[in-house]
């Protein structure tokens, strides 16, 4: 059981976009920082209704005595993302997603695993109302997440399922109660815009659900276009995911053990690299599809470094393929983990699409002629497969 998932359960916030139109008015943030964050600044990213991060305006807020404030003039609702910055200048990967409504004020408390919001104005008054109702259930969920993570850190891996499973089942009940509390609130308070958006933000309902069950409440709402736009985005996303699933099934069958390798390429810093630069060149090549943010990937790196140091040469090579990762993060992890074998950086989906990969790490051993010898290698299997091929 990988208990790391508990830290992301109900923590990751949905990405929202709004298209309500207003006369330009200020949106204000009054913020407080929990002591455990130990940060000196916040990075602010203000997105437009299209949620184009490349075009988002970026600013920095100074934190003084654990407090900060920020104001921006807007003529439409959008989203603001806050990232904490430590004393040494490190920007957190985790973000806090805040709905920005022109003319309103939000009070924010940033904590280690979540943030609390309330504020002034029609929208945030409604937000504060539902949050007050469901907060006890939400806090119970986060207490369970902390307990699970603490227990996972002191429990040997071979005993985790037996020891943690009972607590995990209690966590599921707490989570279900939290979800039920939101659903019950919506039933008792139909028509509250902020309540529906809160529910969507927590992943309890989809925007397609909102259109089906509460579309009439948004017909003349400032957020009518927002709900319709996001419902359409969800539909498009479902269609794309289904297409990817079908493609993954197809590519898995075409890249099974015994099949010839499929080439792909990635560009980074003006240089194009291809899998064929390494595979099919007369060596056995162990290829690791990985990412800097992936815990299981990092746990396999020592095994890969081990076989690389032992067997590299005229007959054997190791290659990393950075998958679904930011190049800067990849390069940082390469240094931190002491990886010396070559890398294809910024592959993104190119490699995973070519090999039907839906989860990483995916470690594949290719023969000298480019044929796939083994897929899904892990742990001790890695060196055993390499030794077998090299006749050792």
- What pLDDT sits at residue 11? 38
**246 part of a folded domain:** no
* 79 and 169 inside one domain: yes
CATH number at residue 309: 3.40.30.10
Looking at beta carbons, which pairs linking 240-249 to residues 24 or more positions away fall under 8 Å?
244/353, 247/353, 247/356, 248/353, 248/356, 248/357, 248/358, 249/356
Domains of the chain: total: 2
Instruction: For residues 115 and 112, give the distance between their C-alpha atoms in angstroms, rounded to a whole number.
Output: 8
**What's the pTM?**
0.66
Please count the residues of the chain: 392
C-alpha to C-alpha distance for 341 and 323, rounded to whole angstroms: 16
Read off φ and ψ for residue 89, nearest 5 degrees: 90, 5
In a domain, 250, yes or no: no
Q: Which of 166, 175, 160 is nearest to 1 (CA)?
A: 160
Lay out the sheet containing 39-47: strands in order across.
57-62, 39-47, 78-86, 96-100
Residue 259, in any domain of the structure: no
Assigned domain for 245 exists: no
My answer on whether 367 and 283 are in the same domain is yes
Q: Is 258 inside any structural domain?
A: no
Closest alpha carbon to 366 in 282, 254, 250: 282
| Predicted pLDDT at 321 | 98
Instruction: Please write the tens of the pLDDT for every residue from 97-106.
Output: 888 888 999 9
Contact 360, 381 (CB under 8 A): no
Structural domain contains residue 21 = yes
Range of the domain at 202: 3-235
Q: Which residues of the chain have pLDDT under 70?
A: 1-22, 49-53
Q: What is the reported pLDDT for 49? A: 66
Beta bridge partners of 200: none
Distances (CA, A) of 251 to 254, 274, 275, 366: 5, 18, 16, 16
Indicate if the alpha-carbon torsion angle 306, 307, 310, 313 is positive or negative.
negative
Location of structure tokens 């902390």: 146
Task: Tell me: do 86 and 188 sit in the same domain.
Answer: yes
Q: What's the Rg (C-alpha) of the chain? A: 24
Q: pLDDT value at position 114?
A: 81
In this prediction, residue 101 carries a pLDDT of 87
Q: Do 341 and 207 share a structural domain? A: no
**Same structural domain, 271 and 225:** no
Both structure tokens of 22: 């207003």
């Amino acid at each position: 059981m990988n208990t790391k998932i508990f830290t992301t359960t109900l923590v990751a916030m949905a990405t929202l976009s709004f298209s309500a139109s207003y006369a330009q008015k200020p949106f204000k943030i009054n913020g407080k920082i929990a002591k455990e964050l130990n940060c000196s600044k916040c990075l602010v990213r203000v997105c437009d209704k299209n949620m184009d991060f490349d075009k988002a305006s970026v600013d920095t807020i100074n934190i003084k005595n654990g407090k900060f404030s920020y104001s921006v003039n807007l003529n439409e609702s959008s989203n603001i993302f806050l990232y904490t910055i430590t004393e040494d200048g490190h920007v957190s990967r985790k973000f806090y997603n805040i709905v920005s409504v022109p003319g309103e004020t939000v009070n924010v408390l940033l904590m280690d695993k979540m943030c609390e919001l309330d504020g002034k104005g029609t929208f945030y008054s409604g937000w504060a109302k539902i949050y007050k109702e469901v907060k006890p259930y939400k806090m119970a969920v986060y207490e369970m997440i902390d307990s699970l993570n603490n227990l996972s850190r002191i429990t040997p891996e071979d005993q985790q399922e037996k020891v943690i499973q009972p607590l995990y089942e209690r966590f599921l009940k707490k989570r279900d109660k939290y979800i039920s509390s939101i659903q019950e609130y919506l039933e008792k308070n139909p028509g509250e815009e902020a309540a529906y958006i809160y529910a969507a933000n927590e992943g309890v309902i989809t925007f397609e659900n909102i259109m089906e069950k509460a579309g009439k409440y948004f017909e003349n709402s400032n957020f009518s276009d927002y709900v319709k736009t996001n419902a359409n985005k969800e539909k498009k996303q479902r269609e794309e995911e289904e297409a990817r699933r079908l493609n993954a099934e197809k590519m898995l069958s075409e890249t099974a053990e015994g099949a010839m390798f499929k080439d792909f390429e990635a560009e980074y810093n003006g240089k194009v690299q291809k899998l064929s630069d390494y595979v099919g060149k007369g060596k056995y090549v162990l290829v690791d599809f990985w990412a800097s943010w992936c815990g299981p990937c990092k746990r396999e790196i020592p095994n890969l470094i081990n076989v690389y140091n032992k067997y590299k040469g005229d007959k054997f090579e190791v290659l990393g393929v950075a998958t679904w990762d930011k190049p800067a993060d990849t390069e940082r992890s390469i240094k931190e983990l002491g990886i010396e074998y070559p890398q294809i950086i910024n592959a993104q989906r190119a490699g995973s699409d070519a090999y039907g990969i839906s989860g990483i790490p995916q470690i594949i051993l290719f023969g000298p002629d480019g044929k796939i010898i083994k897929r899904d290698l892990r742990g001790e299997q890695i060196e055993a497969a390499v030794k077998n091929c090299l006749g050792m």
